[in-house]
C-alpha cells in the first residue's frame, strides 16, 4: 500500500517523525544566520549597550529555537505528543474539532469553525516529507 492509502485504525498504530528545519534548506540557514548577526549589530550600534546586545541575542535565539532544534511528533490511536527541547506536550484527540492543512503542516484546532483563537489554542504539526500519511492519520481521528 502507498503511504496515502494506509489505514491507521489498528490498535497500537503509531506515526512518529522528526522535523528539523535547519537541515532542510541551506538558503534559509544563510538568511537566519545573517539576521542573527545583523539584528544584534543594529541593536548594539543604536544603544551602545552590551546588555541590550546580549538581551537581543537571547531573545532572537529563543524565538528561532524551533528552527535550530529538532521537534519530534508522535501520533497514536488516542493521543499526540510533541517533544521539543526539554518540553513534552501530550494531548488527547478529543480536544480537537477541526484541522487545516497547508504546504508545511497541519493546524489542529479545538474549534469547530474558524476562529481567531486557533493559533493560540491549537497546535501546528510540521510535515517532514510525510504529508499524506499525517493528513490521513488525522482525518481518521478528527471528523471535520
Domain shared by 75 and 130, yes or no: yes
Domain shared by 83 and 137, yes or no: yes
Domain that holds residue 105: 3-20+70-141
Domain shared by 133 and 82, yes or no: yes
What would the pLDDT profile of 4-47 be if each residue is shown by its tens digit? 344 445 567 899 999 999 888 889 999 999 999 999 999 999 99
Domain shared by 106 and 45, yes or no: no
CA neighbor of 89 nearest in space, from 99, 79, 104: 79
Domain shared by 48 and 75, yes or no: no
Domain shared by 55 and 89, yes or no: no
pTM for the complete prediction?
Answer: 0.80
What would the pLDDT profile of 85-99 be if each residue is shown by its tens digit? 999 999 999 999 999
68 grid coordinates:
535550530
Q: What is the number of structural domains in the chain?
A: 2
Domain shared by 33 and 87, yes or no: no
Residue 13 sits in a domain whose CATH number is 2.30.29
CA distances from residue 83 to 40, 72, 107, 118 in whole angstroms, order as listed: 29, 5, 16, 20
Domain shared by 82 and 125, yes or no: yes
* Distance in angstroms (rounded) separating the CA atoms of residues 58 and 43: 13
Amino acid at each position: 500500500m502507498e503511504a496515502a492509502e494506509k489505514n491507521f485504525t489498528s490498535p497500537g498504530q503509531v506515526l512518529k517523525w522528526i522535523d528539523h528545519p535547519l537541515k532542510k534548506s541551506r538558503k534559509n540557514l544563510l538568511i537566519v544566520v545573517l539576521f542573527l548577526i545583523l539584528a544584534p549589530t543594529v541593536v548594539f550600534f543604536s544603544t551602545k549597550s552590551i546588555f541590550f546586545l546580549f538581551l537581543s541575542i537571547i531573545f532572537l535565539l529563543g524565538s528561532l529555537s524551533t528552527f535550530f532544534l529538532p521537534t519530534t511528533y508522535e501520533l497514536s490511536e488516542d493521543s499526540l505528543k510533541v517533544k521539543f527541547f526539554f518540553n513534552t506536550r501530550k494531548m488527547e484527540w478529543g480536544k480537537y474539532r477541526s484541522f487545516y492543512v497547508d504546504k508545511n503542516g497541519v493546524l489542529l484546532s479545538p474549534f469547530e469553525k474558524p476562529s481567531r483563537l486557533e493559533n493560540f489554542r491549537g497546535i501546528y504539526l510540521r510535515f517532514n516529507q510525510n504529508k499524506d500519511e499525517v493528513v490521513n492519520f488525522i482525518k481518521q481521528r478528527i471528523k471535520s
